[in-house]
Structure 1
């Protein structure tokens, strides 16, 4: 037996149990350096409406939790009724136990336990994780492109080094440019925007009939009620109205991570292209106006046309200069036996339609 295999056998892999939350949060803090609360854990994993038990595998050694592979449960559809999908998120292994087969042991256990319960697995791995997921049968391809409206380049590039110094010098120009683009962007006076600090799940679900002919996450009432209940977020719903009728909506959240204040536009409804450009422009104008003091605004997915975003000063993350700093988003998909979803092939990356709310942002 190799030393690698011998070390791997010293770990125990099992499903999540109710008493594991504290150990998970301690491990999360030690690996990611970010404080998370029990309320956050309860929202993210225990209150998910699509599964009764928390879909998570943990690794133990000598009674100590040293690794975890949790999943977010969602419903996905190719235009039909939808099926359960699991999105691995927050994969963590304590630094003292890396390169000992823990990742492989947890992944094997996760697939053994949940592969028959989900129509597919999909997630957004970092470049470092890509070889690991490919080893276990994930197909990896391009993910959705993020668009950024940058107000403070220095905050995004960091305080140290030449990039940080240049970013700080460029900040006044970036904010001035963003303000000018907002003033120049045309909006329809017949479209008004109502802001709410709550998420009207029923209204949003009625607006959103999915994206026929594509693989997408189902945004039903349960999704809206759960996904935006994150206690770490300040959430605003924007409703575009024409003639007293709500014709489009967007949900944005504000958070500060690592000293960077950012507004993320997580969801837009409808997603099927039926919303007129005037309503979408009014929504974007409201979001960027409210986020004027933030360091950046981020939008993902294709519910808002790129030409509308460009008119408000957004730049695609895969275009220069952001391509030199922004992390490239990759989509990874694993389906049992090449299974199709309502006639769609989930490993055809061009068939996916994804919003930022469908990703493991937390």
Structure 2
């Protein structure tokens, strides 16, 4: 499914800023500003994320320009959202960047309002993940339409091996000292939990050094969920796991020759930050309680093989809380994790492309806690 660039995508002047879609001449400015704001944007990564995206036949980046200077960029990702048996197109807001010389000019609002007007009829909703300052800004722009949900209640869990990796010299001395104290205590607790981990001799866990799309689709198609989620198919997986400079390892769990569950682990290293193993994809998206033994065996294998990173991170509402807790994962807002992990929210805003004749789909989309999201989508930005 591809949503084309519309004929109305011409320059739009707003308070001397021209708001428009990205053009090839903007590439160098985008790479420079991205590396200034976030770091890690190579030409190969840019091509994968924005040019090879299978759901748009143009580069979906909004540009704010004034007198020939780039003021900011607002990339958006068109993604197919499946609700029950229906699929609608939605826009994920990611990677907002405003150049330091153009801040406090309302560019976040200008680019969002232009995107909303430009894409109103083509998309059912827009959604984003936001820290607290961004959440407040988004709610102010369209507070009568945005709905949001605290990701602390959206089941984000961390298994931290090294608390000191989350602190720098800029943190208060008390927090730095607390991280050093927490490390040996946490290490002992994790060792005890790993010794007591649940096992099931009927389940065989297999490690795959590359992502097996066929296995993922086999598991996904067996267990249906009506909750909103990015549509899983070969097109999505082949693009998603082609991310440059990112290593993915996959684990599948089988019982009597039938694959019951799978987890894809992605490894990440931020600049001067902790090394991370993300449970990027967890399948099936439904049936977690019935498949508790399979997920437990998968986590046992993963935590034993991926103990060299500073932390393992999981999100979504697939694996039951009690199983995550049994394997050393704690909710982000529990002590002491809340001292090291930033809060964030999941926000959804309906657009004009939403078919109001299907109230069930509309109700599901505007209910953020009901979305079934994983790091497959969240790590886009």
TM-score surpassing 0.5?
Answer: yes
Deviation at 1:62, TM superposition (A): 2.5
Counterparts in 2 of 1:301-312, with a 5 A limit?
301-312=316-327
Q: Distance in 2 between matches of 1:241 and 1:141?
A: 35
* Mapped partners of 1:111, 1:188: distance in 2: 51
Residues 319, 284 of structure 1: alpha-carbon distance in 2 compared, 3 angstrom cutoff: same
Superposition pairs of residues 234-273 of structure 1, within 5 angstroms:
234-257=247-270, 258-273=272-287
Q: Distance in 2 between matches of 1:71 and 1:202?
A: 28
The 8 Å contact of residues 148 and 296 in structure 1, kept in 2 or not, is answered as yes
Task: Give the Cα separation in 2 of the matches to 1:92 and 1:105.
Answer: 13
Tell me which residue corresponds to 1:13.
Answer: 19
2:246 is aligned to 233
Q: Distance in 2 between matches of 1:55 and 1:151?
A: 38
Counterpart of 1:152 in structure 2 is 162
| Aligned structure 1 segments of 4 or more residues deviating by more than 6 angstroms | none
- Kindly state the Cα deviation for residue 276 of structure 1 after the two structures are TM-superposed: 1.6
RMSD: 2.1
Instruction: Note the residue ranges of structure 2 that are not aligned, 5 or more in a row.
Output: 1-12
User: Could you state the TM-score of these two structures normalised by the residue count of structure 1?
Assistant: 0.91
Q: Which runs of 5+ in 1 are unaligned?
A: 1-6
Contact 1:193 1:283 in 2 (8 A): yes
Q: Residues 301-336 of structure 1: CA distance to partner in whole angstroms, max 9, x if unpaired?
A: 111101001111110012222223322221111112
| Aligned with 2:190 (options 178, 187, 192) | 178
Change in 2 beyond 3 A, CA 1:62/1:197: farther
Map 1:68-217; keep pairs closer than 5 Å.
68-134=73-139, 135-136=141-142, 137-143=145-151, 144-159=154-169, 160=171, 161-209=173-221, 212-217=225-230
Return the TM-score normalized by structure 2.
Answer: 0.87
Structure 2 distance, partners of 1:222, 1:270, is 18
Q: Per-residue displacement from partner, 1:229-265 (whole Å, max 9, x unpaired)?
A: 2213111011112223221101110111133111010
Counterparts of 1:131 and 1:312, CA distance in 2: 35
Deviates further, 119-128 or 109-118:
109-118
- Rate the CA distance shift 1:331–1:287 in 2: closer, same or farther, 3 A: same
Whole-Å Cα distance in 1 between the matches of residues 220 and 23 of structure 2? 35
Query: Equivalent residue for 1:3?
Result: none
The answer to whether residue 291 in structure 2 is matched with residue 276 in structure 1 is: yes
CA drift at 1:31: 2.0
How many residue pairs get aligned? The number is 355
Q: Which residue of 2 aligns with 1:352?
A: 371
SS at match of 1:117: coil
Is the CA contact 1:125–1:330 (under 8 Å) kept in the aligned structure 2?
A: yes
- Deviation for aligned residue 1:26: 0.5
The offset of 1:8, in angstroms, is: 5.6
Alignment of 1:291 with 2:306, yes or no, is yes
